[in-house]
């Protein structure tokens, strides 16, 4: 259990650094996926709500610490909710389906980004406009869908190598 | 059943903690414990981010090079660079000439533009789609402090909003939370400029009927104790706005800096300009309000004021207040 926790902590830190330091410098214009959200979705889909909640909370807290202006806790709230919702919905999805995870990646990317932006807007961040909210949500949803197969395969191998302990959250 | 209850309790606890964090951060303002926690996280991750960006940057550069080779753009890029260099010289010369006339030789122009700076590299961009900030690899150990201006080759980049010993976070000029005192380089008309994200910047002149035209260059102004030294190029007027029947006038300005390609920047270490104190409060300078004669009407008073030469021995006027004098000269 401790090894799994350490592995996922290192994974989240690496993903956060890649998102802020690597993707902006790649020669792909407008490349703005939300990798932390994608990881949260993939873990919740593979391991259920309890793992999704934990990873979502940690990923959200990390994202909150790396932004300067939005209230700390906004991303935590959104990613924890995404992890919980996807994990809870897991038994209702066809386990061998290829399209379901892709659709889920698009929906979580778009809805998560829109929810984060709306929350910022409600908390007085007037730099967020509805137009920006819509374009960002669509763009993140699209890029997350493109990267979903890689994330799902990678997370699948990781959770198989480091399964949850006996007190895990298998529904 | 037990598992479901356990998950519900976990959901409740985690969401409560998230809401608690939001409440604490919103109520704590900009200098609370959570803000310091953010500063610490930035300081810890900055070396790792620096390493990653150093590894990736050559890849982007190499790809750009190959692309330019195949599309025969190298000659074009060189010529554009020369044009940009000449344009920049022309802009600087125009602004310096105007300042020279305004200040009547009292200030050395070269000295005014020789800022003390420290060079920095961009190591990270904001992970959010809703804020325009960058993280740079210099901090308080290099003399960087909050509110210091940040510039790049073409002009103003933004200002420092968070500092750690080895890194700093910069609010870009296009962020909607950014605003600065500015003036038109050609006429000296002053106003306030603010960012609008991916849209062009917005300039609101102090006087709605100000003589600002399309193509005019906008530079920073130290008017009213602004945090920026005067004369840093910001952008060029794209739309001069509607001047009729409006109390305020909105002018769109295209920034000179390409904020999507910020690799190297300079942090201006010069202290922000202090606001000019009111004359009444200045020790050693006697101030008496002008006498009002009861047997003269308002019109006469105004005429007398205009004609009198009994102005007190003012210290040198602030930079932008001299514009009015200059505007009346041919």
Residue A71: CATH number of its domain: 1.10.1760.20
Assess whether pLDDT exceeds 90 at residue A76. Answer: yes
User: Which residues of chain B fall below pLDDT 50?
Assistant: 102-112, 296-330
> What does each C-alpha distance from B230 to B192, B204, B223, B275 come to in angstroms?
13, 17, 8, 13
**A49 pLDDT tier (thresholds 50, 70, 90):** very high
With CB atoms and an 8 Å threshold, state whether A76 touches B176: no
Indicate the average pLDDT of chain A. Answer: 86
Q: What is the rounded distance in angstroms from the CA atom of residue B96 to the CA atom of residue B103?
A: 10
Instruction: Answer whether residue A170 is part of any domain.
Output: no
pLDDT 10s digits, A120-155: 888 877 777 888 888 889 999 999 999 999 999 999
Scanning every residue of chain A, which has its alpha carbon at the shortest distance from the alpha carbon of B66? A27
Please report, for residues A24, A101, B96, B316, the alpha-carbon distance to residue B125 in angstroms, rounded to integers and kept in the order given.
Answer: 7, 29, 34, 42
The pLDDT, as a whole number, for residue A18 is: 86
Report if residue A106 sits inside a domain: yes
Residue in A16, A24, A117 closest to B130 by CB: A117
**Does the distance separating the beta carbons of A132 and B128 come in below 8 Å?**
no
Which residues in A lie closer than 8 A to residue B58 (C-beta atoms)? none
Q: Is A40 within 8 Å of chain B by CB?
A: no
pTM of the predicted structure, to 2 decimals: 0.60
Owning domain of residue A75 = 2-161
- Decide if B179 touches A, using CB distance below 8 A: no
Whether B255 contacts B267, CB under 8 Å: no
**A28 part of contact set with chain B, CB < 8 Å:** no
pLDDT value at residue B203: 93
A14 found inside a domain: yes
Q: What is the CA radius of gyration of chain B?
A: 25
User: Average pLDDT, stretch A27-33?
Assistant: 70
Q: Is residue A11 part of a domain?
A: yes
DSSP B146-187: TT-EEE-SSSEEEEEEEE-SS-EEEEETTSTT-EEEEEETTT
The listed range with the strongest mean pLDDT (A23-37, A38-52, B211-225) is: A38-52
The set of residues, in sequence order, having a beta carbon less than 8 Å from that of B164 and lying 6+ positions away, is B39, B40, B42, B43, B46, B139, B140
Name the closest residue on chain B to residue A168, using Cα atoms.
B3
Q: Is residue A47 part of a domain?
A: yes
Task: Enter the DSSP assignment of B91.
Answer: H
Q: How many residues does chain B have?
A: 330
Q: Is residue A167 part of a domain?
A: no
Q: What is the pLDDT of residue B323?
A: 38
Cβ separation B53–A25 shorter than 8 A: yes
Beta-carbon pairs below 8 A across chains A and B: 164
Residue A131 lies in a domain: yes
Reported ipTM: 0.84
Q: Can you give the pLDDT at residue A131?
A: 85
Q: Give the closest-approach CA distance of A17 to chain B in angstroms.
A: 6
User: For residue B308, what pLDDT is reported?
Assistant: 41
Please tell me the total count of domains within chain A: 1
Q: Give the Cα separation of B10 and B16 in Å (integer).
A: 10
Q: What is the pLDDT of residue A40?
A: 94
Structural contact between residues B203 and B191, judged by C-beta atoms closer than 8 angstroms: yes
A87 within some domain: yes
């Amino acid at each position: 259990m401790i090894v799994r926790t350490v592995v996922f902590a290192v994974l989240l830190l690496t993903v956060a650094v890649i998102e802020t330091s690597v993707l902006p410098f790649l020669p792909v214009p407008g490349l703005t996926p939300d990798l932390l959200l994608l990881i949260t979705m993939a873990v919740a889909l593979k391991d259920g709500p309890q793992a999704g909640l934990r990873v979502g909370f940690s990923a959200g807290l990390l994202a909150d610490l790396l932004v300067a202006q939005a209230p700390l806790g906004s991303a935590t709230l959104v990613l924890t909710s995404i992890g919980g919702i996807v994990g809870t919905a897991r038994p209702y999805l066809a386990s061998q389906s290829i399209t379901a995870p892709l659709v889920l990646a698009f929906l979580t990317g778009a809805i998560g980004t829109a929810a984060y932006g709306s929350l910022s807007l409600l908390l007085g961040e007037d730099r967020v406009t509805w137009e920006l909210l819509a374009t960002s949500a669509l763009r993140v949803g699209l890029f997350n869908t493109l990267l979903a197969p890689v994330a799902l395969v990678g997370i699948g191998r990781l959770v198989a190598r480091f399964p949850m302990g006996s007190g895990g959250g298998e529904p | 059943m037990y598992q479901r209850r356990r998950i519900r309790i976990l959901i409740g606890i985690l969401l409560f903690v998230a809401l608690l964090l939001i409440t604490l951060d919103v109520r704590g303002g900009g200098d609370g414990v959570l803000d310091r926690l953010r500063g610490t996280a930035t300081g810890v991750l900055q070396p790792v981010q620096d390493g990653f960006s150093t590894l990736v940057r050559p890849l982007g550069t190499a790809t750009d090079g190959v692309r330019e080779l195949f599309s025969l753009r190298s000659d074009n890029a060189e010529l554009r660079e020369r044009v940009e260099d000449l344009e920049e010289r022309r802009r600087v010369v125009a602004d310096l000439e105007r300042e020279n006339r305004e200040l009547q030789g009292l200030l050395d122009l070269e000295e005014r533009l020789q800022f003390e700076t420290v060079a920095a590299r961009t190591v990270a961009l904001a992970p959010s789609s809703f804020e325009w900030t960058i993280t740079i690899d210099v901090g308080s150990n290099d003399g960087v402090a909050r509110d210091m201006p940040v510039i790049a080759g073409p002009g103003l980049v933004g200002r420092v909003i968070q500092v750690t010993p080895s890194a700093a976070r910069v609010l870009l000029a296009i962020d909607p939370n950014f605003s600065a005192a500015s003036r038109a380089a050609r006429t000296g008309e002053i106003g306030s400029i603010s960012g609008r994200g991916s849209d062009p910047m917005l300039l609101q002149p102090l006087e709605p009927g100000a003589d600002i035209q399309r193509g005019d260059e906008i530079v920073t102004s130290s008017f009213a104790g602004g945090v920026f030294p005067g004369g840093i190029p910001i952008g060029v007027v794209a739309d001069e706005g509607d001047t009729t029947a409006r109390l305020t006038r909105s002018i769109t300005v295209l920034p000179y800096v390409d904020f999507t390609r910020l690799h190297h920047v300079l942090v201006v270490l010069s202290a922000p300009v202090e606001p000019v104190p009111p004359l009444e409060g200045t020790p050693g300078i006697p101030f008496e309000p002008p006498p009002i004669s009861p047997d003269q009407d308002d019109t006469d008073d105004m005429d007398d004021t205009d004609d009198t030469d009994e102005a007190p021995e003012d210290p040198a006027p602030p930079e932008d207040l001299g514009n009015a004098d200059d505007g009346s000269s041919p």
